[in-house]
Amino acid sequence: MPLKSRITGTGSYVPEKVLDNFELEKKVDTSDEWITERTGIKERRIAGPGQNNSDLCLEASKRALQAAGLKPRELDLIIVATMSGDMPMPSTAAVLQHKLGAKNAAAFDINAACSGFLYGLSVADKFIKSGASQKLLLVGAEVNSRFLDWKDRATCVLFGDGAGAVVLEPVKGNRGILSTHLHTDGSLWDFICLPGGGSQHPPSSKTVKDGMHFIKMKGNETFKVAVRTLERLAVDTLKANKVDPSELAMLIPHQANLRIITATASRLNIPMDKVAVNVDKYGNTSSASIPITLDEVVRAGRIKKGDYILLEAFGSGLTWASALIRW
């Protein structure tokens, strides 16, 4: 029987500082009612001074390793999905490897923005199935707050900071990751972007003055594409595995916007009691949102052995991705 990769431990961490909508009313021209109605977000977490992406990764990773019953030195590979790493180089995964004491693990980052964790899960799945990795740590982590224009109510109300991690190991049988599905449409790259800081627009006084180091977003256009795309993605993923939507125990979507989540669930005829939602507490934590949510539902006992779990995300690129898991 061919190998599958199975999640054997989950962990998550969010900073202590809570920024609620009423505090945002003092920063920008917005209101709790406006934010809640359009996004479903009530509050988000903000990393403290000196608290870096790798620090969030470290706490989530410790919890995932503990849940899996592993020591850091047993890991052979670490993948970090992020668009807000500690620095352009080296990778945040390398910094995490050092902080964690995982001396036997190779480490690298990937960037697919909000779809990053699922892109990373697909890569991790291939490493496990090929036999190239036996004990793999995958982390999704973001410190989005460092890239927000607090005068732009279209973006600053949406994002928060956090990290989620999973440990993957090989297993035989019918449990584990059944399939992953990755998609990109680069023609829509400017729907969500952070234009400054790369080789096209390297840091300068002009890029700072022009606000090019802040996240830019075309909200309405992104919303329309996301709802349409996520419905089709979910249907295709379930069909590929001959699983009916009614057989799903849990849908764990990227936590970007409650309206996108409810619209997708409605189109698939999935009741909301089978949909994991925490966007109200954390806002959009980009690549961290799915692993944070997964960890919460696992620790709450909402998933049991043999359950079908569908993960799906949509983000900058534009990218979208899914994974079907039999727990």
Residue 132: which residues within 8 A CB-CB, separation 6 or more?
77
Residue 270: which residues within 8 A CB-CB, separation 6 or more?
245, 248, 251
Select which of 53, 144, 156, 254 is catalytic: 254
284 is catalytic: yes
d(C-alpha 246, C-alpha 150), whole Å: 42
193 is catalytic: no
Find the distance separating the first CA and the last CA of the chain, reported in whole Å. Answer: 18
Select which of 21, 111, 144, 284 is catalytic: 284
Q: Which amino acid is at 175?
A: R
254 is catalytic: yes
Bridge partners for 78 per DSSP: 107, 137
User: Alpha helix locations (H) across the chain?
Assistant: 21-27, 32-39, 53-68, 92-100, 116-130, 153-156, 205-209, 219-240, 258-267, 279-282, 289-299
Select which of 114, 144, 156, 257 is catalytic: 114
Distances (CA, A) of 215 to 22, 32, 156, 195: 22, 22, 9, 8
Residue 187: which residues within 8 A CB-CB, separation 6 or more?
none
Tokens linked to 310 = 């569908």
Active site residue ranges: 114, 254, 284
